[in-house]
Amino acid sequence: WKNARQRLGAGGAVITWERFNREFLIKYFPADVRDQKVVEFMGLKQGDMSVADYAAKFESL
């Protein structure tokens, strides 16, 4: 973010964190992928996973 802000700011363009974040998500993490991650997260159950495995899966989502 700091690097992007410096590069864009040098050219006179004003960019906020909100704009950068929105554009980043659109380009690198499309809505359909985000929606799929939400579905996976909502269905996450520990089941027979160890606490460590469950925590790792939780954090990966």
Residue range 6-53, pLDDT digits in tens:
666 666 677 788 988 988 888 898 899 889 989 998 999 999 999 999
Classify the phi-psi angles of 47: left when phi > 0, otherwise alpha if psi is within -120 to 50, otherwise beta: left
Look-up: residue for tokens 């499309």?
30
What pLDDT is attached to residue 53?
Answer: 92
B/e letters for 42-53, b = 16+ CB within 10 Å, e = fewer, are eeeeeeeeeeee
Distance of CA 44 to the CA centre of its chain: 18
Q: pTM above 0.85?
A: no
What pLDDT is attached to residue 55?
Answer: 92
